[in-house]
Amino acid sequence: MKTTSGTVSIDGIDKTILRALMEDARTPILEIARQVGISGAAIHQRLRKLEKSGLIAGSKFVINPKVLGYTTMAFVGIYLDKAMSNPEAVKQLKKIPEVIECHYTTGNWSILIKILCKDNAHLMYLLNKDIQTIKGVSRTETFISLDQQIQRQINI
């Protein structure tokens, strides 16, 4: 059965390929081939098609930050002065490596960021010295993630 979503249509074989590689980017093509019962060359062609379609954005090694001592994750809602442009604030936030996500959001804040730091002292330092000193930032609200209980990608 083919499913058309957005602009790309993928069938069951494509889904099997994607699921395997979303789990482990280094799954051998030949292993997937055996699993779905077609040749490695066919899997390879399908992968090229999926890459060209833009569905596959890339592949990444996932690093465990805790092993490097980064044990504290937090979300920070940022209020911006009307005078402060969002792009200018984002430009400053990009300079802070601990900021791993930044969203332009509806609701109370102008910006919602996710930050990864070593401990609460580190978090406090980032808030006081790096974030609240950005021109246009009037106030912040911090939510510490005590535990991340779900982490996954879109369901294929």
Residues within the interface to a second copy (CB under 8 A): 5-8, 18, 21-26, 53-70, 73, 75, 90, 93-94, 97-109, 112-113, 116, 141-156
Q: Which is nearer to DNA, 28 or 69 (CB)?
A: 28
The set of residues, in sequence order, having a beta carbon less than 8 Å from that of 24 and lying 6+ positions away, is: none
- Shortest Å, Cβ 46 to a second copy: 13
Q: Which is nearer to a second copy, 3 or 133 (CB)?
A: 3
**Which region among 22-30, 83-91, 99-107, 135-143 touches DNA (by CB under 7 A)?**
22-30
First and final CA of the chain: distance in angstroms? 14
Residue 42 in contact with DNA, rule: CB under 7 A:
yes
40-53 vs 29-36: helix crossing angle, rounded to 10: 110
**Gap between the Cα atoms of 36 and 21, Å rounded:** 14
Residue 114 in contact with DNA, rule: CB under 7 A:
no
**Which region among 31-39, 92-100, 135-143, 146-154 touches DNA (by CB under 7 A)?**
31-39
DSSP β-bridge partners for residue 75: 114, 143
12-23 vs 40-53: helix crossing angle, rounded to 10: 80
- Residue 141 tokens read as 């609200």
Choosing among a second copy, DNA, none, which partner's interface includes residue 70 (Cβ < 5 to 8 Å by kind)?
A: a second copy
- Shortest Å, Cβ 100 to a second copy: 5
**Cα dihedral sign for 106, 155, 99, 120?**
positive
Residue 50 in contact with DNA, rule: CB under 7 A:
no
